[in-house]
């Protein structure tokens, strides 16, 4: 059922819900949508004509927050109150970032409790999640202003190398900003989506995404097969980008052209405004040289000049570093440059002609650079949002399972067949057997979740496989298969392989499950991880003990006559001891008593086997 919302500005009813795509960048962020009439992705543009919102947050002494360009203007005057590059801190502990702390002009503190970094501004402390949420709030506000409707749902991109904690932090930032984050997707995946590479059915492609921004460089090697993106390798440098080119130009003017050296200010703040002017002019020169051969300008009344050739020489070592990373990534992926089917350019610095040329030469092919490299990631996120909204059926729905899927095994344990974050569609199977002699049915209970005991997970379905022909315990081979199709429907089937009896059921794992519930379930699995491991070990010990008791009982019933009364008493006593140990639920005790019962009964079993062997050999010739 489509949701209906009211456009407050016009009073009209909107049938379609808007899901926005957001590129939450280190330097700049932006928001994009797919236009409902033309189905074309566009970056949202404010009246000022700008799409990029600098990822900078300023707090004044009263705690008022400013985001974007107005905050950027305060970077030089109030460095301790103006926070940039918060993305570099997402999901990180102080230990993770302490070696980079020289990069940050603001105060990063280690609060010692949850070990995650916080930023101190005046007497207030902000987590990177809060800082990012201010940027997201600003983007949401802009989108609502431009679209004249409320925006509550989003797809947000993250670097391919982000770990679970960093992805979770990004989700939390979205939630804090009042956004329901439907999906976190990888930036290189989004860029490929924007170009529509590999998203048609039955298409298989290997792609390199070269992303050179203001302060970071990433190279990702991906494969796309049937609409499923897989990251094969990533490499890069978290402190390499257009800013380094600007700094190189500043140094060139200082060293070769004699622009006042004492006012360098890069970190020293001797003359902040002159240093800032030099940086701004250097960036302008760089941008100018992307389309011209010479730049001429003035800094503090003094003429400065740089040619394209000089600039290219200055940045050659920087470009060489990115190409080295490309080599390493290819090596990690086990590929050669000629095996790459498409190269996608992302990030403002890929506009530099020398960068483009080096990448073309390395991969030996033309590159995809037709889409604005600052916007391509957000546009791809919007394409993904459009697919999620069900407006785009041409492209496959790219998805992964948010939670693990499995069945209940003995002792109420969860046996995972498809782990969480597995690609969809997917298939997995495993063989099981019966516990009892002559068991004719088997109950298959399907669960979803990360906990070790099924009672803590979510039950999806249950069915009975009946008609298994009578066989001793352990002999039937029941193959359970999980198959998730491209629509996310899970088909569970069970087949007894010896007899061919089979049964199956269809379930919708995501049915009725909100994003919040998925997150809660994941969180619970982390909180209970230690207890769960202990509990699983106990349940396994109890299961083994039960099996040992059953085997011994069966043995005594069948072969009791070969045991002496003393031996019989020893067995029964040890069985009783094991039962007591099981009641105590002490894992170590259960294990040691099980082992003891095994020791007591093993000699009798061997004796019976020998007798059976002698019986079998009687009257037969041995060669």
Nearest to 379 by CA among 240, 370, 230: 370
User: What is d(CA 301, CA 298) in angstroms, rounded to the nearest whole number?
Assistant: 6
149 touches 156 (CB < 8 A): no
243 part of the interface to ligand AMP, by CB under 6 A: yes
**Residue of 352, 359, 385, 389 interacting with ligand AMP (CB under 6 A):** 352
- Measured from the CB atom, the residue of 376 and 453 that comes closer to ligand AMP is 376
Per DSSP, the three-state class of 333 is: helix
Rg (CA), the chain: 32
User: What is d(CA 445, CA 443) in angstroms, rounded to the nearest whole number?
Assistant: 6
Report, in Å, the least distance between residue 442 CB and ligand AMP.
Answer: 56
**Residue of 92, 286, 420, 451 interacting with ligand AMP (CB under 6 A):** 286
Report, in Å, the least distance between residue 91 CB and ligand AMP.
Answer: 20
- Measured from the CB atom, the residue of 181 and 346 that comes closer to ligand AMP is 346
**Diameter of the chain by CA atoms?**
116
Is 211 noted as a catalytic residue in this protein?
A: yes
DSSP string, 365-402: S--B--S-TTTHHHHHHHHHHHHHTT---SSPPPEE-S
Is 610 noted as a catalytic residue in this protein?
A: no
Report, in Å, the least distance between residue 362 CB and ligand AMP.
Answer: 19
374 part of the interface to ligand AMP, by CB under 6 A: yes
Is 369 noted as a catalytic residue in this protein?
A: no
Site string for ligand AMP, 13-32 (x = CB under 6 A): ------------x-xx----
Between the alpha carbon of residue 2 and those of residues 18, 180, 306, 511, the distances in Å are: 11, 17, 58, 16
Which residue among 138, 172, 211, 246 is the active-site one?
211
**Residue of 21, 128, 174, 214 interacting with ligand AMP (CB under 6 A):** 214
**Residue of 351, 356, 420, 451 interacting with ligand AMP (CB under 6 A):** 351
DSSP string, 231-291: EEEEEEETT-SHHHHHHHHHHHHHHHS---GGG--TTT-TTHHHHHHHHHHHHHHHHHHTT
Which residue among 187, 246, 399, 452 is the active-site one?
187
Report, in Å, the least distance between residue 104 CB and ligand AMP.
Answer: 17
Stretch that binds ligand AMP, among 104-112, 285-293, 505-513, 518-526 (CB under 6 A): 285-293
Site string for ligand AMP, 565-604 (x = CB under 6 A): ----------------------------------------
Report, in Å, the least distance between residue 528 CB and ligand AMP.
Answer: 40
Is 172 noted as a catalytic residue in this protein?
A: no
- Measured from the CB atom, the residue of 290 and 324 that comes closer to ligand AMP is 290
Which residues make Cβ contacts (< 8 Å) with residue 550, sequence separation at least 6?
A: none
Q: Which two tokens stand for residue 620?
A: 């037969």
DSSP string, 5-21: EE-TTT--EE-SPPEEE
SS3 content of the chain, % helix, strand, coil (to 5): 40, 25, 30
283 part of the interface to ligand AMP, by CB under 6 A: yes
Site for ligand AMP in 321-350 (CB under 6 A): 347-349
How, if at all, do strands 302-307 and 294-299 pair?
antiparallel
**Residue of 287, 300, 413, 549 interacting with ligand AMP (CB under 6 A):** 287
- Measured from the CB atom, the residue of 243 and 456 that comes closer to ligand AMP is 243
Q: Which two tokens stand for residue 327?
A: 């080599």
Hey, which residues are catalytic here?
A: 23, 87, 187, 211
Residues forming contacts to ligand AMP in the complex (CB under 6 A) are 25, 27-28, 213-214, 241-243, 283, 286-287, 290, 347-349, 351-352, 374
């Amino acid at each position: 059922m489509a949701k209906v919302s009211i456009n407050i500005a016009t009073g009209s009813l909107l049938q379609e819900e808007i899901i926005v795509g957001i590129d939450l960048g280190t330097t700049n962020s932006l928001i994009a949508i797919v236009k409902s009439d033309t189905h074309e992705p566009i970056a949202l543009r404010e009246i000022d004509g700008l799409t990029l919102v600098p990822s900078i947050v300023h707090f004044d002494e009263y705690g008022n927050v400013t985001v974007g360009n107005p905050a950027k203007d305060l970077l030089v005057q109030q460095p301790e109150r103006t926070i940039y590059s918060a993305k570099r801190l997402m999901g990180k502990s102080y230990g993770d970032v302490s070696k980079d702390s020289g990069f940050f002009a603001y105060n990063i503190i280690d609060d010692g409790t949850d070990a995650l970094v916080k930023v101190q501004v005046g007497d207030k402390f902000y987590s990177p999640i809060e800082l990012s949420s201010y940027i997201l709030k600003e983007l949401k506000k802009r989108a609502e202003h431009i679209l004249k409707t409320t925006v509550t749902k989003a797809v947000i991109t993250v670097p391919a190398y982000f770990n679970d904690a960093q992805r979770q932090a990004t989700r939390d930032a979205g939630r804090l900003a009042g956004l329901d984050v439907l999906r976190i997707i990888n930036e290189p995946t989004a860029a490929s989506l924007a170009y529509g590479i590999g998203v048609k059915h039955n298409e298989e492609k290997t792609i390199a995404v070269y992303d050179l921004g203001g302060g970071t460089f990433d190279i990702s090697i991906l494969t796309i097969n049937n609409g499923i993106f897989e990251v094969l390798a990533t490499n890069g440098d978290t402190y390499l980008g257009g800013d380094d080119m600007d700094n190189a130009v500043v140094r060139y003017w200082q060293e070769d052209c004699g622009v006042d050296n004492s006012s360098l200010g890069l970190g020293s703040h001797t003359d902040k405004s002159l240093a800032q002017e030099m940086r701004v002019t250097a960036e302008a020169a760089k941008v100018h040289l992307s389309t011209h051969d010479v730049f001429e300008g003035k800094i503090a009344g003094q003429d400065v000049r740089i040619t394209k050739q000089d600039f290219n020489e200055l940045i050659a070592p920087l470009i060489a570093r990115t190409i080295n990373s490309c080599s390493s990534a290819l090596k990690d992926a086990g590929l050669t440059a000629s095996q790459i089917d498409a190269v996608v350019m992302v990030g403002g610095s890929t506009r530099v002609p020398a960068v483009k040329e080096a990448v073309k030469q390395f991969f030996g092919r033309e590159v995809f650079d037709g889409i604005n490299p600052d916007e391509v990631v957000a546009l791809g996120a919007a394409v993904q949002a459009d697919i999620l909204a069900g407006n785009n059926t041409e492209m496959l729905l790219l998805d992964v399972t948010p939670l693990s899927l499995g069945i209940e095994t003995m002792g109420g344990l969860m046996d995972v067949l498809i782990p969480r974050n597995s690609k969809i569609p997917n298939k997995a199977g495993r063989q099981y057997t019966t516990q009892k002699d002559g068991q004719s049915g088997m109950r298959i209970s399907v669960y979803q979740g990360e906990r070790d005991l099924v009672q803590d997970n979510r039950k999806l379905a249950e069915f009975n496989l009946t008609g298994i022909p009578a066989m001793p315990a352990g002999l039937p081979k029941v193959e359970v298969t999980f198959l998730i199709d491209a629509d996310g429907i899970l088909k569970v089937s069970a087949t007894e392989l010896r007899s061919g009896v089979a049964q199956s059921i269809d379930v919708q794992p995501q049915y009725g499950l909100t994003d919040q519930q998925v997150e809660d379930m994941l969180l619970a699995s982390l909180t209970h991880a230690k207890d769960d491991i202990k509990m699983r070990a106990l349940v396994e010990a109890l299961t083994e003990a039960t099996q040992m008791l059953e085997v011994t009982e069966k043995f005594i019933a069948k072969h009791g006559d070969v045991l002496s009364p003393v031996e019989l008493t020893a067995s029964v006593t040890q069985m009783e001891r094991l039962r007591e140990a099981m009641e105590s639920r002490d894992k170590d005790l259960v294990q040691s008593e099980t082992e003891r019962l095994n020791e007591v009964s093993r000699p009798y079993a061997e004796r019976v086997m020998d007798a059976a062997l002698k019986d079998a050999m009687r009257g037969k010739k041995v060669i």
